[in-house]
Structure 1
Amino acid sequence: MAQPSIHPDMQAKMRIGRAEFITLAAALMALNALAIDIMLPALQQIGAALDVVAENDRQFVISAYLIGFGGGQLIYGPLTDRFGRRGPLLFGLALYILAASAAIFAPSFAVLLGLRMIQGLGAAATRVIAVSAIRDVFGGRQMAEVLSMVMMVFMAIPVIAPSLGQLVMMFGAWPEIFMLMAGLAFAIAVWAYLRLPETLDEADRRPLVFSTVLQGFRYVVTSRVALFYTLATTAIFGALFGFINSAQQIYVDIYGMGDLFPILFAVGAGLMALSSFTNSRFVGRFGMRRLSHTALVTFIAINALWFVISLAGPVPFPLFFLLFSGSMFMFGWIGPNFNSIAMEPLGHVAGTAAAVQGFTTTLGGALLGAMIGQAFDGTLTPLAGGYFIVSTVGLIFVLIAERGKLFQVVNPAV
């Protein structure tokens, strides 16, 4: 398969090669995954240190970050379409670093949640700029291939993040995790400052006035394909965030695998990374729709089986892990392709499009995930039922976007 190539009119502006550009975009996205998953082993210690009584309330450390991350994207989208990609990105990274540094000294759980929300607000820039810069430089199936490679790194971070968090706590405590996040973000900020080119052409910059911003949002919400694939992605992300919220309780409280929790979590994340990698190899041959629609139908079938089994009583760990692993593998074929299909018609407002898409998928997914997580009752049924419901809703949105027809070929291979 040919490697994704850079648009000819962008080639002269690129101060770095294709490989470094993709690696830097992946590093920016990885900061988000790290900020979520590295916290999982620390939730119990944070709860004890900051007097959190209800166990489910510890999940708000994840939800607060996701709310800031989702909402912040609405701000960065119009800013990046007006001022370019570099300036807003560096501002967001600075905010991320400051919030993570301040969280080290958080005196209460409420203050910690506020700082996590600010950290997410800063991280929102990385998501918007990474996606819109990729859309600036690549198009069509090439964009899907690059996004798959970036998402592969994004999904690979959870393989090591919980273990990294647990390793930090072996030699320190939960504040040191925030120190590590701030240090890594600083290193990536320096890298971006020195090497990342400005990918937005001057001719494509849009005035930062309310009517222009509103017009950009209107482009997004009035495109049937963009809107409903974004909503479908939101539903699917709700399942993922629901698991992240309750992962520690499932592995530790239900199955008593506290010491193995980081390893088991890593296996699930590794399957998503592997799936995303295979997607990057196959999407050029088979197309985004055929791959993602096949994965979605399979995703629903697995989730339905898992839900029915959970209703019958306690699920043996090997069976749970088999069903969950199959579900997570399908996720890696759904997420990157749905994102690419939603972005494809919106290149003329890539920053605003990435912002609206990111806001909807992250905030909506976080709220759905919080509902699933808060429903945890000591069994797998709430999670399995949540997976089945949101995946079925996702299929409904895809059918609306495609006028009832699945597996269509829209961009033939070249």
Structure 2
Amino acid sequence: MARHLLRSAVVLGLLSSIGPFAIDMYLPALPEIAAQLDTTVAATQTTLTGYFLAFGIAQMIYGPWADQSGRKVPLYVGLAIFLLGSIGCWLSPSIEWLTASRTVQGLGAAVLMVVPRAIIRDMHTGSEATRLMALIMLVISISPMLAPLAGSLIILFASWRGIFLALVVAGLIGLALTRFMLPETLADDARRPMNLKSMIRGCRILVTDRMFMGLTFIGGFAMSSFFVFIASASFVYTEQYGLSPMGFSLAFAINAVGFFSASQMAAPISDRIGMARTVSLGVTGFSIFSAILLFVTLAGWTTLPVLVGGLFISNACLGIVMPTTMVMALDNHGDIAGLASSLGGTLQMMVGGMMITIASPFFNGTATPMVAVIALCGLIAACISALVLGRFRLTPIE
């Protein structure tokens, strides 16, 4: 493996993992937060919805800004906003305050979704970019495997507020990485002015690109299924199956391992059969296995091992979908990579927030609503894949 590729993967992966860490680290504390702030499960889940929606909308600012000023200045600003939100969460006296502070966190963390993708597009395209994206996801995999465990340990000694203090430290580390280890990758002559006219023109190009929109929504519904799992899993594992916060963290880590382990196979599979066929294969597997899991759940056969195993297999299929759709969506839009990354990310986060909102009224502390919405995401993603990628299934795309 090239040394520069490994260095880029580590730095970009650590930066990109701060946002997911802000999601995963406090998941074991959700039941405790609901109890201490004297609120409902649905109200507690709004702290995730607010984060995701702000995370998505703010990307529309960071992308064009990164195309105009370069990649580093937006990173500095976004990380500073993330720090302010983390401090607000740490000091929150009520669920309303916590939700607002989580929204500020999302506004800042959005830059860590947009800019690393654009940096990858600055440096690489095609399977090489997929390989780098997969390496970054390998670094990010530290988050769902270790963040809930770290959150559980912090709860033992410092309550749920200590989790957000730890995120303040993570934000400071992100600023240090940006300052000392991340070079500017956008040349001066490649920068584009940020104005409403150019944004509208760029957005028009993107939204009329059937492939860009199709890949964005395939990835969006795939990602949404994971968001629904994130919003519901702590309550399902602790209430239906009686797990402790530490037990939940271990079960959550197993499910996440499936996703990120499979993501490392995305580039080799793409090299062999083509990127479009890789996406079709992954989406088909995800829709089938999530539908089987729903049938088993409705039949009343979902023991804890069955649920964890079914989610592991479904998430493994998503692992080859996510990095590949991200790369394919940007491949033909290198001149507006920042805008394309931000628009794609915004649409995906809005879909994720929408699916959590749809699931919340039906949540009853059991696995059934969670699995049903995950299966619905799989069905929608499969339909979009059939419409957009069907003609590529017999012809590899390089």
Tell me, yes or no, whether TM beats 0.5. Answer: yes
Q: SS at the partner of 1:337?
A: helix
Overall identity of the aligned pairs, in %: 27
TM-score, normalized by length of structure 2?
Answer: 0.95
How far apart, CA to CA, are the structure 2 residues paired with 1:284 and 1:410?
Answer: 9
User: Superposed, which structure 2 residues align to 1:112-123 within 5 Å?
Assistant: 112-123=98-109
Matched, 1:168 2:154: yes
Partner of 2:169: 183
Matched, 1:353 2:340: yes
Q: SS at the partner of 1:402?
A: helix
Partner of 1:87: 73
Matched, 1:391 2:378: yes
Cα 1:173/1:77, change in 2 over 3 Å: same
The Cα offsets for residues 81-115 of structure 1, whole Å up to 9 and x where unpaired, read as 11111101111011111211222112221111111
Matched, 1:203 2:186: no
How far apart, CA to CA, are the structure 2 residues paired with 1:407 and 1:117?
Answer: 44
TM-score, normalized by length of structure 1?
Answer: 0.92
How far apart, CA to CA, are the structure 2 residues paired with 1:309 and 1:48?
Answer: 32
Partner of 2:363: 376
CA contact (8 A) 2:56 2:346 kept: yes
Shift of 1:407: 5.2
Matched, 1:237 2:232: no
Partner of 2:212: 226
How far apart, CA to CA, are the structure 1 residues paired with 2:155 and 2:377?
Answer: 35
Matched, 1:24 2:5: no
How far apart, CA to CA, are the structure 2 residues paired with 1:341 and 1:361?
Answer: 15
How far apart, CA to CA, are the structure 2 residues paired with 1:170 and 1:26?
Answer: 28
Partner of 1:9: none
Aligned-residue CA RMSD in angstroms? 1.7
Aligned length: 397
Q: What is the one-letter code of the residue matched to 2:232?
A: S
Matched, 1:367 2:354: yes
CA contact (8 A) 1:137 1:199 kept: yes
Moved more, 80-89 or 40-49: 40-49
Partner of 2:23: 36
Match of 1:332 among 319, 326, 330: 319
Shift of 1:212: 0.7
Shift of 1:281: 4.1
Shift of 1:405: 4.3
How far apart, CA to CA, are the structure 2 residues paired with 1:151 and 1:170?
Answer: 29
Partner of 1:278: 265
The Cα offsets for residues 318-368 of structure 1, whole Å up to 9 and x where unpaired, read as 222221111111111111111111111111100000000111112211221
Cα 1:374/1:408, change in 2 over 3 Å: farther
How far apart, CA to CA, are the structure 2 residues paired with 1:355 and 1:118?
Answer: 18
Structure 2: stretches of 5+ with no match in the other structure: none
Q: What is the one-letter code of the residue matched to 2:207?
A: V
User: Which 4+ residue blocks in structure 1 deviate beyond 6 angstroms?
Assistant: none
CA contact (8 A) 1:148 1:277 kept: yes
Partner of 1:342: 329
How far apart, CA to CA, are the structure 2 residues paired with 1:289 and 1:58?
Answer: 38
Matched, 1:322 2:313: no
How far apart, CA to CA, are the structure 1 residues paired with 2:41 and 2:389?
Answer: 42
Q: What is the one-letter code of the residue matched to 1:112?
A: L
